[in-house]
Amino acid sequence: MKESTFAMLAPGILVAATGVGAGDLLTASIAGSVIGMSILWAAPIGAILKYFLTEGVARWQMATRTTLLEGWVTRFGPWWQWIFLGYLLLWSFFVGGALVSACGLAASGLLPLGEDLRASKAVWGIVHSVAGYCLVRIGGYRWFEKLMSTMIGLMFVTVILTALLMRPDWYAVLRGCLVPAIPEKGVAWLTGVLGGVGGTVTLLSYGYWIREKGRSGMAGLGASRIDLGVGYLMTALFGVAMVMIGSRVSIEKGPTVALELAGQLELILGPPGRWIFLFGFWGAVFSSLLGVWQSVPYLFADLTSLIGRQRGHSEDRDRDEGASNSGEIVRLSETRAYSWFLLGITVIPLCLLWVSVQQVQLVYAMVGA
């Protein structure tokens, strides 16, 4: 049966929802506040670069019927799997900590639990982490796909609406998008905007999502090029909108920068501006958390399966070249490795809730880069 338009675009939408997180939104908004709209072009260029990287993942998978992770291990040698495993564990710890901290901060802006912001952030961070675990374990991929699409719809509408309500100078917007410029002392922010949009390790997740869809061959690659085009168009628009928003306010780089930005928007747009932005920010960070909680355990399960097969005692011993793509991913999601890693990323990074958001975001950005 032919896929609906929504079903065909879903993997690209998941890429956008997972790849646009708190760090990306805040980096773009601070860059706009510090430098202005002269670096608007960096967001679409960054999205284009990530499009070709992710399209390459799909192209490899369609041609070889193996994941990119399998390709690395088989082409580079077994030593590569141990390097990647160490990096994956480190990345997951700091990214998980950054996401639960950002979710706690976003929820505290919407519904603070008392006057102690740090305690409120910790409680809400724990609630969001556990909720993410439950939603991934209970819902399955199809339900996850629909929920994420709803979340990115909320994020897209609120962030774009906020940018439009601020009545930007459209000539400056067009000039910033079409005329590349590197402002003096703006290289660091330019690099942050270029590299921040579209995700890092989560790019590899796209390969598992398209296997859930059962894509293969040239037809599958064509579908991937379409949904990635839509997903990265949305990603570019998010980045542009956040730079536009940041260019109209004066904010400092601090642990509560999101709440500070919401307060500045309230001065310009009134109370609706604050609530619209906070809902969009919450949608961005919680959808990113859900995407990481659901997809990164695939990487760990795939990696441990490869290691187990080399030793002759993998849970997925029956997986071979003739196995169907969709069946393989179902088995991965049902392995003990997937379940334990999901539990680990839910619980272990919670210790970072008592570290400042600024410090966690800095380490997260460095590890991701």
SS (H, E, C) 190-210: HHHHHHHCCCCHHHHHHHHHH
Higher-pLDDT residue of 199, 62: 62
Nearest to 27 by CA among 278, 355, 364, 274: 364
Q: At what angle do helices 42-64 and 217-247 cross, to 10 degrees?
A: 160
Q: Is the pLDDT of residue 140 over 80?
A: no
Q: How far apart are CA 234 and CA 94, in angstroms?
A: 26
Q: How far apart are CA 257 and CA 101, in angstroms?
A: 13
User: CA neighbours within 13 Å on the CB side: how many for 127?
Assistant: 14
> In the prediction, which pLDDT does 192 show?
67
User: How many helices, marked H, and strands, marked E, lie in the chain?
Assistant: 15, 0
Distance of CA 334 to the CA centre of its chain: 23
What are the CA-CA distances from residue 180 to residues 170, 224, 293 (Å)?
A: 16, 29, 36
Residues of the chain above pLDDT 70, percent: 77
- Which helix (H) or strand (E) covers residue 8, if one does? helix 5-19
Q: How far apart are CA 278 and CA 261, in angstroms?
A: 9
296: tokens are 């990164």
Q: Contact 126/350 with Cβ under 8 angstroms?
A: yes
Q: Is the pLDDT of residue 322 over 50?
A: no
253: tokens are 């780089």
Q: Sign of the CA dihedral 246, 249, 255, 258?
A: negative
List of residues 6+ apart from 270 with CB closer than 8 A:
none
Looking up tokens 């505290």 gives: 108
> In the prediction, which pLDDT does 134 show?
92
Reported pTM: 0.81
* pLDDT per residue as tens digits for the range 91-138: 888 888 888 988 888 888 888 887 787 888 889 999 999 999 999 988
Q: Contact 123/104 with Cβ under 8 angstroms?
A: yes
